[in-house]
Amino acid sequence: MKKHGLERLAPSETDCRMFREALDGIQPLAPHGRALPPVPRPPPLPRSRWRDERAAIHAALHDPVDWDVDTDATEDMSFLRPGVPRNTLRKLRRGEWVTQAELDLHGLTRAGAKQALVDFLCACRKRDIRCVRIIHGKGLGSLNRQPILKSHVRHWLLQRDEVLAFVQARAVDGGSGALRVLLKSGGGTNG
């Protein structure tokens, strides 16, 4: 008989005989006459929450949409949401939009940086800020002098609906240690 994918086997005659021999001479405890409290049931398993957490982790690790990410010869990664005019990247790269706010993620952990980025983008949307600079750093102070947050920030931005485009900042604005980001108009809403 199978139960939950495990096969249950009936004990063999040898097993039963060995069990009886092992218990030979054992006397049951005399009843003490007291009522025993009921054995508490184990708490239910939060399977639904586990499923939701696995789905959230999967979504965080795998982009659900095929994004239009361009990489040129200088590895200047840029992003343009489908439907946004191609010249938007050129204008953003040239600094034709005024940077209205900036976020510096230096010194933050990955989790802290993600939360700061989410909070920053929400605040920008509420204030109808359209062009921002996000400084993720070049990794000069990190182990092996590798940028820790650079790829994470780009990945997080790809997942945000309010992000229309982003490009690597000009050298004067931080170069490979920063991004210029164009956001949808928030219209001052709380959404």
Q: What is the pLDDT of residues 63-113, one digit of tens each?
A: 444 444 443 334 557 899 999 999 999 999 888 889 999 999 988 888 889
Q: What is the pLDDT of residues 167-184, one digit of tens each?
A: 998 888 888 889 999 999
pLDDT at 52 over 70: yes
H helices present in 127-167, as ranges: 150-158
Beta strand 101-104 with 131-135 is parallel
**Of residues 147 and 136, more confidently modeled:** 136
Q: Domain spans of the chain?
A: 69-183
Long-range CB contacts (within 8 A, 24+) of 74-83: 76/167, 76/168, 77/154, 77/168, 78/165, 78/166, 78/167, 78/168, 79/154, 79/157, 79/158, 79/163, 79/165, 79/166, 79/167, 80/164, 80/165, 81/163, 81/164, 81/165
The pLDDT assigned to 23 comes to 87
Tokens of 172: 């004067």
pTM of this structure: 0.58
Average pLDDT of every residue of the chain? 80
Q: CATH for 69-183?
A: 3.30.1370.110
Residue 52 amino acid letter: D
